[in-house]
Amino acid sequence: MNQKTVITGTGCYIPEVIKTNQDFAIQNFYGEDTQPIANSSQEIVDKFQQITGIQERRYASDNINSSDMATMAAKLAIEESGIDPEQLDQVILAQNFGNVTKHTIQTDLLPALASRVKHNLGIKNPSCVAYDIIFGCPGWVQGVIQADTYFKAGIAKKALVIGTETLSRVLDVYDRDSMIFSDGAGAAVLEAKPINETNSGVLSWSVQSHCLEEAYYLFLGKSNFPGSDPRIRYIKMKGKKVYEYALQHVPLAMKDCLDKAEVPIQQVKKIFIHQANEKMDEGIIRRLFKLYGLRDMPEYIMPMSIHKFGNSSVATIPTLFDMVKKHKVNDHDLQPGDIIMFASVGAGMNINSVCYRM
Query: Rounded to an integer, what distance in angstroms lies between the CA atom of residue 358 and that of residue 235?
Result: 36
Contact predicate 230/222, CB 8 Å: yes
DSSP, collapsed to helix, strand or coil, labels residue 288 as helix
DSSP, collapsed to helix, strand or coil, labels residue 242 as helix
Query: Rounded to an integer, what distance in angstroms lies between the CA atom of residue 84 and that of residue 269?
Result: 32
Query: Rounded to an integer, what distance in angstroms lies between the CA atom of residue 56 and that of residue 17?
Result: 10
Instruction: Give the DSSP H/E element, type plus range, for residue 143.
Output: helix 139-152
Torsion, Cα 309 314 316 318, to 10 degrees, reads -140
Q: Say what angle helices 41-52 and 278-291 make with each other, to 10 degrees.
A: 30
Phi-psi region for residue 351, left (φ > 0), alpha (ψ -120 to 50) or beta? beta
* Full 3-state SS string of 33-61: CCCECCCCHHHHHHHHHHHHCCCEEEECC
Which of 87, 86, 205, 186 shows the shortest CA–CA distance to 146? Answer: 205
Rg (CA), the chain: 20
Query: Rounded to an integer, what distance in angstroms lies between the CA atom of residue 170 and that of residue 172?
Result: 7
pLDDT per position in the chain (358 positions), as tens?
Answer: 688 999 999 999 999 999 999 999 888 999 988 999 988 889 999 999 988 999 999 999 999 999 999 999 999 999 999 999 999 999 999 999 999 987 777 788 889 999 999 999 999 999 999 999 999 999 999 999 999 999 999 999 999 999 999 999 999 999 999 999 999 999 999 999 998 888 899 999 999 999 999 999 999 999 999 989 988 899 999 989 999 999 999 999 999 999 999 999 999 999 999 999 999 999 999 999 999 999 888 989 999 999 999 999 999 999 999 999 999 998 899 999 999 999 999 999 999 999 999 9
What pTM was estimated for this model as a whole? Answer: 0.93
Cα separation values, 21 from 17, 58, 175, 233, 309, Å: 13, 11, 14, 24, 12
Domains plus CATH for the chain?
Answer: 3-194 (3.40.47.10), 201-357 (3.40.47.10)
Which of 149, 119, 136 shows the shortest CA–CA distance to 3? Answer: 149
The total of other beta-carbon atoms located within 10 Å of residue 301's CB is 18
**Buried/exposed code over 78-96 (b: 16+ C-beta within 10 A; e: otherwise):** bebbebebeebbbbbbbbb
In this prediction, residue 108 carries a pLDDT of: 83
In this prediction, residue 140 carries a pLDDT of: 98
